[in-house]
Amino acid sequence: MENILRVDESHSATAAMVSLKGRMDASSSPAAETVLSRLIESGERRIVVDMSDLDYISSAGLRVLLSSLKRLRDDDGRLLLAGLKPQIQNVFEIAGFQRIFTIYSTTEEAVSSFSAPK
Amino acid sequence: MLPSLLPTFIVLFQMMCVIVVFAYLITRTRYFSEVADGQFSWKNQLFLIVLFGILSIYGSESGISVLGAQINVRDLGPMVAGLVAGPLVGLISGLIGASYRITMGGFTMVPCSLATILAGLLAGIVWLLAGRKFPGIIVAVSFAVIIEGMHMGLVLLLSRPLSQAVEVVSDVAVPMIAANAAGMFIFSFIISNLEKERETQGERDRYHKELERKNAELQIARDIQTSFLPEKIPVIPRYMLAACSIPAREVGGDFYDIITFPAKKIGLIIADVSDKGVPAALFMALSRTVVRANAEWHNAARDAIQGANATISADSRSGMFVTLFFAILDQESRRLTYVNAGHNPPLLFRPGFDPIPLPATGIALGALADADYEERSVDLYPGDVLLFYTDGVTEAIDSRYSQFGEERLAELVRQNINLPPDDIIEEINRAVSAHSGETAQFDDMTLMILKVEG
């Protein structure tokens, strides 16, 4: 059951990127939460979550993303999601989360939205 | 040469055997344990003084005479006494050993007696320097070697004639140092073994206690949580209703609820909190209470959920949320009015039709404080079966992460549509367990089935 979720992070001049690969369920989501919390605590205010390799997300995974979104919002930061597979999109739609998250089809679009004038 | 040395070896061997037995017995006493724990009393100190004094006397008595001087382990008792119980115990047991040595006389009487007293006292000082505890095997054995070296030095310094003192020392120095070091090694080894044993035992005890406490707490949490589920399913004339909730851990985040309203109306709730374990269970308790209170207060399902969401959002700082389906069934008109707050759409099975999903009409509770919810209605007919479930059922995985799936669940209900609801639930549970086998599940599973009779 090891490594069912791989969490990678990278940094660019515009934003921090967190890539999620695999399955985000109650057992694996804490790994993503650790990385996101560390980024937020270290002062990162622009985070893009690359979900193009994420195959499954449970409500525990949604909770991790939601808590990061709320924490960033409280500090005038932004969390953007990118590259959701159809089944992931579907989970977001059922829970109604497409309304509170800003979702882009690719990470490039998400990153460039930071540099574009608001 | 050999035959003459053999008795010496036998005596030395006997000596070591006595020391082993003595060390074993003394370290197993309550008094020794108390002192090792740093709990000193006059009783346990007296006990150690007497026993190590006796060991010192035995050390003199068991000695082997070489040219009138003895190879002996008289210093061993006071040294151990000092190293385990401090200067006072070391000194007094040294005095006991020294007094006995004085009665034996001889030209090395003064330095030998003095060495025994100093052995006890200095051992006590080492104990103090080690932080009032036994200093460990290496220090103890090195200490024994140094003390015996000092013992030899005192003989050379104080015994006269000097030529005879030199002769004795050159004969006995090496065997004396070796015998005392060996004796000290035996003691140290047994003492440090005992210390390790006690340490692991202490850890194990602590761990056990902690585990027991946690289990007790979880059991209480589970009992409390179970008490939040309806004790029994109410009998509704011309309907059949069954429900079941299986937490993945001791406590879970799923729940269902059935509320009896006036005017032959029944409230049906199924919900799934976005996490597992105790945090989810607490959030479940909060949500369940808030939703129930709002449902009893407001007439419209939509108002109840909107009100509940405002309260739950105010309390959700960790990003926790709950997907919840709330329906009010009018028993007379068979009209089902519902609000679906981000929950997996329940499925309505109507003979001759594909399953009809009752889709989400708003966002999960707790995610967005000022969210709007829509209310929808569906008319039920005799023969209709309504399946409410949480994603723990459809997302139950086997060893290759393959999910049980919605299609399989729907097919299973269709096949068993003529059974009473509790039998359908049983069939589903059986099929899901067969699918997941030994694979540990991370999500709670909750099912509720309503059947409309003729």
d(CA B359, CA B322): 16
Name residues whose C-beta falls within 8 Å of residue A84's C-beta, 6 or more positions apart in sequence: A51, A52, A54, A92, A103
pLDDT at A40: 92
CB proximity A102 to B under 8 Å: no
CB contact (8 A) between residue A95 and residue B323 = yes
CB contact (8 A) between residue B401 and residue A23 = yes
CB proximity A17 to B under 8 Å: no
Taking CB atoms and an 8 Å cutoff, what residues of chain A touch B371?
96
**Within a domain: A114:** no
Top residue of B275, B389, B390, B398 to mutate, by most chain A CBs within 10 Å, is B275
CB atoms within 10 A of CB B8: 13
Top residue of B254, B273, B274 to mutate, by most chain A CBs within 10 Å, is B274
CB contact (8 A) between residue A59 and residue B391 = yes
Taking CB atoms and an 8 Å cutoff, what residues of chain B touch A60?
274-276, 442
Question: What pLDDT digit, counting tens, does each position of B269-311 carry?
Answer: 999 988 777 888 888 888 999 999 999 999 899 999 999 999 9
Q: Which of B6, B164, B176 is nearest to B75 (CA)?
A: B176
pLDDT at A53: 94
CB contact (8 A) between residue B360 and residue A94 = yes
Which residues of B lie inside 8 Å of A (Cβ-Cβ)? 248, 272-276, 317-321, 323, 341-345, 360, 362-364, 367-368, 371, 391, 395, 401, 403, 440, 442-443
d(CA B156, CA A42): 71
* Class of the CATH domain delimited by B224-452: alpha beta
pLDDT at B397: 85
CB contact (8 A) between residue B272 and residue A59 = yes
Q: Which of B371, B357, B359 is nearest to B409 (CA)?
A: B357
pLDDT at B67: 54
- Length of chain B (residues): 454
CB contact (8 A) between residue A97 and residue B319 = no
**Residue contacts between A and B (CB atoms, under 8 Å):** 85
Q: How far is B321 from chain A (nearest CA, A)?
A: 7
Average pLDDT over residues A53-66: 90
Q: How far is B355 from chain A (nearest CA, A)?
A: 17
**Within a domain: A71:** yes
pLDDT < 50 positions in chain B: 1-2
CB proximity A21 to B under 8 Å: no
CB contact (8 A) between residue A67 and residue B318 = yes
Domain residues for the domain of A40 are 5-108
CB proximity A62 to B under 8 Å: yes
Per-residue DSSP letter, A97: G
CB contact (8 A) between residue A97 and residue B360 = no
pLDDT at B143: 94
pLDDT at A22: 92
**Residue A1 banded pLDDT, cuts 50, 70, 90:** very low
Q: Which residues of B86-97 are buried (b: 16+ CB within 10 A; e: fewer)?
A: bbbbbbbbbbbb
Say which CATH number the domain at A49 has: 3.30.750.24
CB contact (8 A) between residue A96 and residue B318 = no
Does residue A36 carry a pLDDT above 50?
A: yes
Helix, strand or coil for residue A9? strand
CB contact (8 A) between residue B368 and residue A99 = yes
Kindly provide the residue ranges of all beta strands, DSSP E only, lying in B146-284, ordered along the sequence. Answer: 239-246, 254-261, 265-273
For chain A, what is the domain count?
1
Taking CB atoms and an 8 Å cutoff, what residues of chain B touch A1?
440
CB proximity A96 to B under 8 Å: yes
ipTM of the assembly?
0.84
Q: Which residues of B27-41 are buried (b: 16+ CB within 10 A; e: fewer)?
A: beeebbebbbeeebe
Q: How far is A100 from chain B (nearest CA, A)?
A: 8
Q: How many CA atoms lie within 13 A of B189 on its CB side?
A: 9
Name residues whose C-beta falls within 8 Å of residue B4's C-beta, 6 or more positions apart in sequence: none
Taking CB atoms and an 8 Å cutoff, what residues of chain A touch B273?
59
Q: Can you give the residue ranges of every domain in chain B? A: 2-205, 224-452
Taking CB atoms and an 8 Å cutoff, what residues of chain B touch A67?
318-320
Chain B residue with Cα closest to A61: B274
Top residue of A28, A57, A63 to mutate, by most chain B CBs within 10 Å, is A63
- C-alpha dihedral over A38, A41, A45, A46, to 10 degrees? 0
Taking CB atoms and an 8 Å cutoff, what residues of chain A touch B365?
none
CB proximity A104 to B under 8 Å: no
**Within a domain: A118:** no
CB proximity A43 to B under 8 Å: no
The partner residue sitting opposite A97, judged by closest CB among B363, B401, B403, is B363
Q: What is the CATH number of domain B2-205?
A: 1.10.1760.20
Q: Which residue has the higher pLDDT, A101 or B225?
A: A101
CB contact (8 A) between residue A66 and residue B367 = yes
